[in-house]
Amino acid sequence: MLDPKILDDLSRRVSEGMPKGLAALQEDFQRNLRATLEAALRQLDLVTRDEFDIQQAVLARTREKLEALEQRVTALEKQQHAPSRSAEPSQHDP
C-alpha cells in the first residue's frame, strides 16, 4: 500500500516550488498532483519495503539450500563414479 504521507509531502513540495503568482491555484494543483501521482504509482507493480525484505530473506535461504543440495549431488556423483572395492578382484580368488 502506498503511504499517503509520502504522496502528500511530494505534492506539497512541488506545489511550493510554483511561482508565487499562482498561489491561488496552489491548493487545487496540490490536490490534483497527489491524485495523479497516486494513480500513476498504483499502476506500477510496487511492493512495500517489508514485503521486499521478506522476499529477499526467502531468496537467501533458498540459495543456501540450493548450494547445499548442489554439494550433496556432487558428492554423490563422486561416490557413484569412484571404483567400488567389491568390484575389485580379491587376492583369494583363483
pLDDT in tens, the chain (94 residues): 567 777 778 777 777 777 766 666 777 777 788 888 888 878 887 788 899 999 999 999 999 999 999 999 999 999 998 876 555 555 555 5
pLDDT at residue 86 in the model: 55
Amino acid type, 90: S
User: For residue 64, what is its C-alpha cell?
Assistant: 543456501
Long-range contacts of 24-28 (CB under 8 A, 24+ apart): none
List the chain domain ranges. 1-46, 47-82
CB 36 within 8 A of CB 47: no
Q: CB atoms < 10 A from the CB of 19, how many?
A: 7
pTM, full prediction = 0.45
CA distances, 4 to each of 56, 71, 84 (Å): 25, 48, 68
